[in-house]
Amino acid sequence: MSSNHGTHGENASQEPNAAEDANPDSDPIAPQDLSSPSDPIAFQEPMVELVSVWKSFGDKEVLRGLDLTVQEGDVICLIGASGCGKSTLLRCVNLLETLDRGSIYFIGTEIAPGVVNDNAVRKRMGIVFQSLNLFPHLNVLENMTLGLRVAHRISKATALELAKEWLARFNLSDKISEYPERLSGGQQQRVAIGRAMIGSPDLLLLDEVTSALDPELVGEVLALMKELAAGGTTMLVATHEMGFAKEVASRVCFIHGGVIHESGRPEEIFGSPRTEETQRFLARLREGGRL
């Protein structure tokens, strides 16, 4: 699919979407934005803005001019087939990958690996991966506080206090001195999410955090994600959990062909998808019993 199509899909959503307005280099009332139903009163600098992002690995073009805007408080669910670029997108935002073309803005500043201070950016984001997040040689407390102590240079006592606070919130207080191998997969992911949240990031990136878990462990992690979403955490979530997307997402983005092929509120995407590809993707999910 062309990138134009994707952009169209995004603009057509009913959200007050200030995607183009917020580009700091362009005029906020540029003429090309007339089609967008953005409300000037609701204008707010986006948390993250991806502008025509291209990324390929070898011959495989994963992202092909993808645009995306995340406002503060948004819970954006990225859905799409495996290998469609959801993870790559999150890794690009966290500066773990270098873009081929395009730009990413984080709270108004263009970020790119090596151009800005990567670590300063990462300290303000939290990311949790599919699996193997925790350091096996460190216990839960050490896992939780490593970033605080080393990157944020927070004192041991303060870090301990914060860790205890978060573990209590996640019902993991009794696991504070356990090593990851002694925890269930669900507990491990909850600790990983706690570790990502402990530095009070502006944005939480979750990359299919439940897909490596046994089915009975998915619930506890999703419940935690819902709680964080309800608490106003800005989240960008790559997920196969359509139930979560339906219930919690403020916007669902279907990634196809390296762009956001269609995006909208969950009820729009799941209820009345406009494009054939989205319909086909959802039909496949229904066949697999995942929707």
Partner 1 sequence: MTDLTPPSALPSIGPSRRRNGSGGFGGGRQRQSSQDGRQQSSFGKSRPSWYVPVVSVASTMLVVGTASYFIWQSNSRQLVEQQFFNREKFWDSFPDVVGGFWLNIQMFVVAEIAILLVALLVAVMRSLRGPEFFPLRVLSVIFIDLFRGFPLILLILLLGFGVPTLGISYVPNGVLFWGVTALVLSYSAYTAEVYRSGIESVSESQRSSARSLGLTQGQAMRYAILPQAVRNVIPALLNGLVSLQKDVALVSVLGIRESVREAQIEVARSFNFTPYMVAAVLFLLISIPLARLSDWYTKRDRERRTQTYV
Binding site for partner 1 (CB under 8 A): 91, 94, 96, 114, 118-120, 122-123, 125-127, 129, 131-137, 146-147, 150-152, 181-185, 192, 195-196, 199
Smallest distance from partner 1 to CB 164, Å: 19
Q: Which is nearer to partner 1, 50 or 196 (CB)?
A: 196
| Residue 103 or 184 with smaller CB distance to partner 1 | 184
Least distance in angstroms from the C-beta of 148 to partner 1: 9
Report whether 238 contacts 208 (CB < 8 A). yes
Question: Strands 235-238 and 203-207, how do they pair?
Answer: parallel
**Burial class of residue 132, CB neighbours in 10 A (0-12, 13-18, 19+):** exposed
Q: How far is the CB of 224 from partner 1 (least distance, A)?
A: 18
CB-nearer residue toward partner 1: 65 or 199: 199
Q: Which is nearer to partner 1, 19 or 111 (CB)?
A: 111
Q: How far apart are CA 213 and CA 67, in angstroms?
A: 30
Q: Structure tokens of 158? A: 């303060």
As beta bridge partners, residue 50 has 68, 104
Task: Between 151 and 168, name the residue whose CB sits nearer to partner 1.
Answer: 151
Ranges assigned E (strand) in the chain: 48-57, 60-70, 75-79, 101-106, 109-111, 125-128, 203-207, 235-238, 251-256, 259-264
Residue 59 CB, shortest distance to partner 1, in Å, is: 21
Q: How far is the CB of 37 from partner 1 (least distance, A)?
A: 35
Indicate the DSSP class of residue 149. I
Least distance in angstroms from the C-beta of 52 to partner 1: 24
CA distance 96 to 122: 9
d(C-alpha 272, C-alpha 128), whole Å: 31
Nearer to partner 1, 191 or 255 (CB): 191
